[in-house]
């Protein structure tokens, strides 16, 4: 009887319709009016100008901080670095504040798996900065373990942080953007691990969590375009950061470099241009895209 009742309820359900923008001048996705500048240097600068304020989630790591610096160099007015432990990078954050004295730069310690805390942090950032126009999410943890031996709690933790945590941040920021009525840009930092199985290290949970971001990015790009919100992702290859250092992975580093057409790992600076592109005026027609930045590793 319960099964029959459930089936009847299913057939009577009301399924929401997705709404797309019509692209008209009065919509949230109008065509830009960008005249050709009479001054070459000015035109080049304006093309990649980053306007407004950003939240960079998981932004206290090497990749996050380098991208924060680049966004500020291109005109970002205000920045909130949201991280589980931003105090661990206080020296680097202080250097940013010194380098960009006109920008509002602050930090918030937040657990991204706590939706109440994330929502409160986004609202606090909006109050302090005036608006939230950009989200870049570097949120992620790695777990390299043979899948036969992986404890289920470890699997759940990786998925909860890397996928659910990113969704929570995106939802909270998008709600704020819709409330503001100004649109915005959301960028997820995924990974080539979302596209190919890593070698030689086993890390199934991480790969699955990052692959999920590619699908999430596409879903949100379709749903939220009507609000003028663009959602994209970047898939870096192996980057030469402190997380990829140590005697325990020397052989791994050799293998990663040898399997890359460029013959090396990536520098953190090589990711920043893509992050700026997606957040800037040059990216207004880029939506639902994943950009791979890996020196060609994905080719094999």
In a domain, 242, yes or no: yes
What angle in degrees, to the nearest 10, is found between the helix axes of 204-224 and 152-159? 30
3-state DSSP assignment of residue 265:
coil
pLDDT value for 9 = 76
Catalytic residues: 191, 206, 210
Please state the pTM of the whole predicted model. Answer: 0.93
Strands 53-57 and 78-83: parallel
pLDDT value for 115 = 98
In a domain, 27, yes or no: no
89: domain range? 42-299
In a domain, 126, yes or no: yes
Beta bridge partners of 79: 54, 105
Tens digit of pLDDT for each residue in 251-296?
A: 898 888 888 899 999 999 999 999 999 999 999 999 999 999 999 9
In a domain, 224, yes or no: yes
186: closest CA among 116, 133, 144?
133
Domain total of the chain: 1
* pLDDT above 60: residue 47: yes
- CA dist 293 → 5, 48, 134, 180, 286 (Å): 51, 19, 21, 32, 16
pLDDT value for 31 = 94
In a domain, 219, yes or no: yes
In a domain, 11, yes or no: no
Spatial separation of the C-alpha atoms in residues 233 and 188, rounded to whole Å = 4
Spatial separation of the C-alpha atoms in residues 81 and 105, rounded to whole Å = 8
Q: Are 247 and 45 in contact (CB under 8 A)?
A: no
In a domain, 102, yes or no: yes
- State which of 4-18, 31-45, 181-195, 232-246 shows the largest mean pLDDT: 181-195
Q: Residues near 169 by Cβ (< 8 Å), separated by ≥ 6?
A: 55, 57, 82, 112, 118, 122, 135, 137, 139
In a domain, 16, yes or no: no
pLDDT value for 2 = 53
pLDDT value for 201 = 87
Q: What is the CATH number of the domain that holds 168?
A: 3.40.50.720
Enumerate helices (H) and strands (E) in the chain, giving the number of each. 10, 7
């Amino acid at each position: 009887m319960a099964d029959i009742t459930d089936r009847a309820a299913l057939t009577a359900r009301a399924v929401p319709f997705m709404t797309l923008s019509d692209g008209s001048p009065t919509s949230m996705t109008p065509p830009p009016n960008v005249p050709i500048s009479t001054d070459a240097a000015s035109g080049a600068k304006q093309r990649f100008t980053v306007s407004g304020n950003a939240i960079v989630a998981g932004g206290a790591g090497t990749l996050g901080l380098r991208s924060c610096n680049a966004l500020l160099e291109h005109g970002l007015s205000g920045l909130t670095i949201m991280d589980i432990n931003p105090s661990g990078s206080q020296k680097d954050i202080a250097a940013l504040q010194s380098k960009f004295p006109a920008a509002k730069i602050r930090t918030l310690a937040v657990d991204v798996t706590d939706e109440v805390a994330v929502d409160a942090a986004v609202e606090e950032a909006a109050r302090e900065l005036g608006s939230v126009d950009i989200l870049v999410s570097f949120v992620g943890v790695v777990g390299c373990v043979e899948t036969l031996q992986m404890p289920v709690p470890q699997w759940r933790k990786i998925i909860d942080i890397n996928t659910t945590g990113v969704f929570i941040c995106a939802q909270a920021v998008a709600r704020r953007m819709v409330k503001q009525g100004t649109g915005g840009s959301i960028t997820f930092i995924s990974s080539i691990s979302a596209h190919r199985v890593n070698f030689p290290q086993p890390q199934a949970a991480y790969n699955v969590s990052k692959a999920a971001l590619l699908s999430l990015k596409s879903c949100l790009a379709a749903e939220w375009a009507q609000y003028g919100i663009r959602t994209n992702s970047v898939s870096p290859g192996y980057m030469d950061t402190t997380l990829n250092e140590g005697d325990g992975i020397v052989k791994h580093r050799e293998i990663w470099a040898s399997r890359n057409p460029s013959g090396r790992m990536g520098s953190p600076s090589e990711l920043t241009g893509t992050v700026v592109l997606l957040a800037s005026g040059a990216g207004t027609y880029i939506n639902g895209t994943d950009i791979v930045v890996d020196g060609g590793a994905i080719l094999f």
